[in-house]
Chain A
Amino acid sequence: MKFILHIWRQSRPAESGNFRRYELEVSAESSFLEMLDALNEQLIQAGEEPVAFDHDCREGICGSCSLVINGEPHGRHRATTSCQQYMRDYQDQKELWIEPWRAAAFPVIQDLITDRSALDRLIQAGGYIPVRTGAAPEANTIPVAKKVADKAFDAATCIGCGACVAVCPNASATLFVAAKVSHLSSLPQGKLDAERPAKMLAQMQAEGFGSCSNYRECERSCPKQISTENIVTLNRALYRN
């Protein structure tokens, strides 16, 4: 298969970037990232700078990969990370525009790599349960209804990739925060941290994320299908205080 690629190239955070055009032939079975690998091999051979991009596990779970492909974070297939897109999925789109996440809270570092450490600081603001390590009671002393545990899992499955921010017109991280609040508020650890939603939302604002206006684009482009229902849970927890 032959593709025309337009890839965002930016050498440093402070410099302005631009799209550069490449042509590439690649097998339909290659994953999207393997296609970029192949391009990079060619560039190295030619003595040019390869394209920098974040990736690691390549099985859709680490949350590193972060490509916007033809305007869609993580590319064409729903509920799928960039690393799990395959070139066979793009057979009818011979021209591909590949760029980094776009959000003020995620500054571009180089080419397709952005700085997503703001998400770590959101977790540090309260996305944990303050339990001491090494001294917990027997796990089965507090039963949890299967339905509750399953729902908590649905929220906990967020991989922290930031696609929700990248697709949101407000660059809001509300879905990320909501998923964590919703996960932690439904499992047994004694007293709930009633301040958690407020602390995390305040941090969200401080990091330069926008607020939620219910566009629900986040849910549509989330590779783990985190539901906006979690935002309802978040708001309820927020206003209950």
Chain B
Amino acid sequence: MNETIQLDGHSPKGPLEQRWTQHKYNLRVVSPANRKHYRIIVVGTGLAGASAAASLAEMGYQVTTVCFQDSPRRAHSIAAQGGINAAKNYHNDGDSVWRLFYDMIKGGDFRARESNVFRLAELSTGIIDQAVAQGVPFAREYSGYLANRSFGGAQVSRTFYARGQTGQQLLLGAYQAMSRQVALGHIRHLSRTEMQDLILIKGQAKGIITRNLLTGELVSHLADCVLLCTGGYGNAYYLSTNAKGCNASAIWRAHKKGALFANPSFTQIHPTCIPQHGELQSKLTLMSESLRNDGRIWAPKHAKDCDRNPNEIAESDRDYFLERMYPAFGNLVPRDIASRAVKLICDEGRGVGHEINGQKLGVYLDFADAIVEQGATTINEKYGNLFEMYHRITSEDPTQQPMRIYPAVHYTMGGLWVDYNLMTTIDGLFAGGEANFSDHGANRLGASALMQGLADGYFILPATVSDYLARQKPLADADYPEVAETRLSVQKHLSRLLSAPDPKHSPDDFHRRLGQILWDNCGMARNDHDLRQAIMQIQQLREAYWQQVKITGDNKQINQVLERAGRIADFMELAELMCRDALQREESCGCHARVEHLTPTGEVQRHDNQFSYVSAWRYSGNVSEPILVKEPLHFDFVSPGIRNYQ
């Protein structure tokens, strides 16, 4: 079903480089003396949530933060390895805000808004300044100035990094800024607390119901607006590089309350992950993309060599396929391009390593040349901790034999639809970071996720949330019937989970089956037939889930099985929407590769005339009948061309 109504993105008009400045000027502000009367709830305390909470609290608002982990410092942003982009042009290699903007728009295959992406590029430099002032120990050169490296999809060195732990250091910076506000009493933080539902009062987001994960107690929190900074939903696939706790519940429940969900099928598959080794594996581990700066990716030219020791395979029998296929970018092509190339090689039967479902899924990432050229010390200095990590997991030493890598689910570009102010289609509900859909289009460029989370939190939300609050009267303390209603529906949902009529299988068992359906049909390659099949399978699995899910224990103390079961119930519904979105997008763009729409050489083929839009889905009351709303994308400053990395 299609809907013809127009979504208003509130994108400003005029010259691109003046839009944010002009927009900020037009946004209303709340006087410093009045800010203490407003309450804000921030759900999720990763890069976007912690930075937004710290900024808003510092401005003088009363902020409540919520996270399901035992401490905000454990949010999954902590695991980001590679780096953060900023158009500083420290290397004098021609970088600029315009170039970063262009690389991102092109990287996302022209499926993101110009205004948003330009703003992100523009704010990028301020993020580095902010982080350095906070004491983030970025890598330095011997001059004492900040060091940079290059990343996939770019031909300049604009990525700032703190060894292989950039996300950790940036998150700790934001967490510490947030901790300062907790100590000052401006932030009330609740750990081990999970949002269960959104409270709407007269159609506006005015609070949330949370569950205390230690006691099971349901608590309602009211505020003048709500920010969801809850990360991505890659765990719908079961195996992913996300932390085990990452989930879609907050955004999914907001979706069911009226927030549109945009581009759900855009899932980035990251090319350089450690391959799966067994059936009962619980997660996949990413190896930073920065490794591709010095590592050369290859596979044996002949299938007969696949079982041989890689060090014994002659140079002439190796296929450095990325360098062969994409000479200009070589090993540094964007993630979607590299992932598909690796899949192609493995599908041809030239994969190496463990066999999963009858196919060897892995190729080599080789540092031998780099070690010879630059010396083992230099290479160890750059990638030492990643090498150690790989060594621990696989018991193979990457300085002695090449790493094995294979693509894995990594980042979701889809999320809640937001306008230029990062507000969803629910009045007063904002979404920041990976939880929203904006800025990355159909594929995210490396090192721009950290940038987006922090730009949203430190710079954009403080301005746009203030504008919203300036138009609101602080919510009066009263008994709102909506609170009790929402609470009751949460209780019902939990009781239903705990009392399946025929409890047989653990939630994880269902999750693995759901993940397999998604990976097989809505993964690196999609097609009409398989997507339709997948939708049916998901519907059947969902039905079985509510009949047979087996949850031990009760709702009165820690119950990790119940926590997971609630999240999986939401993945079951979201998964169908992901497939429906992939099915309607009859083109290939970025990470969305429909096999019906590839060029004869296997490159993705967009159909701009028909699909230059954001697909935003409205919940109709029936998960299987979502309504598609299209937000057309206009390109006034760049012309969408073929994404050529050759």
Q: Which residue numbers of A lie inside 8 Å of B, CB to CB?
A: 11-12, 27, 29-31, 33-34, 37-38, 40-41, 43-45, 47-50, 52, 54-64, 77, 79-80, 84, 86, 88, 109-110, 113, 115-117, 119-120, 123-125, 127-134, 136-140, 143-146, 149-150, 152-153, 156-157, 159-160, 183-184, 187-189
Contacts and interface: CB of A to CB of B under 8 A. Distances in A.
Contact of B133 (A37, A55, A131): A131
B380 interface: no
Nearest to A149: B140
Interface string B409-450: 000000000000000000000000000000000000000000
A134 B558 contact: no
A189 B135 CA distance: 7
B126 A134 contact: yes
B137 A156 contact: yes
Interface in B67-119: 69-74, 76, 78-79, 88, 90
Contacts of B508: 37, 41
B561 A84 contact: no
Interface in B153-189: 162-163, 165, 168-169, 172, 175-177, 179-180, 182-183, 189
A41 B506 contact: yes
B282 A137 contact: no
Given A143-B143, A149-B137, A77 B128 contact: no
B506 A136 contact: no
A132 to B, nearest CB: 7
Given A123-B175, A133-B51, A144 B552 contact: no
Interface stretch (B388-396, B493-501, B533-541, B595-603): B388-396
Interface stretch (B202-210, B273-281, B332-340, B365-373): B273-281
A183 B165 CA distance: 15
B32 interface: no
A33 B179 contact: no
Nearest to A123: B179
B176 A123 contact: yes
Contacts of B286: 59
Contacts of A40: 506, 561
B74 A63 contact: yes
A153 B78 CA distance: 15
A9 to B, nearest CB: 13
Interface in B116-159: 126, 128-135, 137-146
A59 B389 contact: yes
A50 B552 contact: yes
A37 B280 contact: yes
28 contacts: A11-B557, A27-B278, A29-B278, A31-B282, A33-B282, A40-B506, A41-B506, A41-B509, A45-B506, A50-B561, A56-B243, A58-B283, A64-B69, A84-B393, A119-B71, A123-B175, A128-B176, A129-B133, A129-B176, A131-B134, A139-B129, A140-B145, A143-B144, A149-B138, A150-B137, A150-B140, A153-B162, A184-B135
A84 B128 contact: no
A84 B283 CA distance: 12
A116 B70 contact: yes
A120 B395 contact: no
A22 B588 CA distance: 51
Query: Taking each of A33, A45, A47, A125, which has the highest tally of chain B beta carbons within 10 Å of its own beta carbon?
Result: A45
Query: 7 nearest interchain CB pairs?
Result: A143-B144, A128-B176, A136-B133, A139-B132, A153-B137, A124-B183, A136-B129
Given A56-B244, A134-B459, A124 B145 contact: no
B54 A127 contact: no
B552 A43 contact: yes
Contacts of A56: 69, 74, 76, 243-245
Contacts of B506: 40-41, 44-45
Contacts of B281: 30, 34
A51 B126 CA distance: 45
A90 B478 CA distance: 59
Contacts of A131: 130, 133-134, 177
A72 B132 CA distance: 36
Contacts of A41: 506, 508-509
A153 B384 CA distance: 14
A113 to B, nearest CB: 7
A152 B395 CA distance: 30
Contacts, number: 214
Given A12-B557, A27-B278, A116-B71, 6 more contacts: A58-B282, A58-B285, A62-B74, A62-B76, A64-B74, A120-B71
B58 interface: yes
A57 B285 CA distance: 9
A225 to B, nearest CB: 11
A64 to B, nearest CB: 5
Nearest to B51: A133
B464 interface: no
Nearest to A66: B70
Contacts of A115: 70
A44 to B, nearest CB: 4
A26 B535 CA distance: 34
B90 A140 contact: yes
B183 to A, nearest CB: 4
A44 B137 contact: no
B58 A133 contact: yes
A110 B459 CA distance: 40
Interface in B278-302: 278, 280-283, 285-286
A55 B244 contact: yes
Given A57-B76, A115-B70, A143-B145, A80 B392 contact: yes
Nearest to B187: A124
A34 B78 contact: no
A77 B177 contact: no
Given A109-B558, A130-B180, A189 B76 contact: no
B252 interface: no
B214 interface: yes
B336 to A, nearest CB: 23
Interface in B452-475: 458-459, 462
A57 B561 contact: no
Contacts of A159: 78, 168
A132 B132 CA distance: 12
B553 interface: yes
Contacts of A27: 278, 280
A61 B79 contact: yes
Contacts of A58: 243-244, 282-283, 285
Contacts of B509: 41
A183 B137 CA distance: 8
Contacts of B191: 117, 120
B521 interface: no
Contact of B179 (A38, A113, A128): A128
Nearest to B191: A117
Contacts of A134: 55, 126, 130, 458-459, 462
B73 A160 contact: yes
Contact of A157 (B139, B165, B553, B557): B165
A183 B138 CA distance: 12
Query: Taking each of B78, B131, B551, which has the highest tally of chain A beta carbons within 10 Å of its own beta carbon?
Result: B78
Query: Taking each of B133, B145, B558, B561, which has the highest tally of chain A beta carbons within 10 Å of its own beta carbon?
Result: B133
Nearest to B274: A59
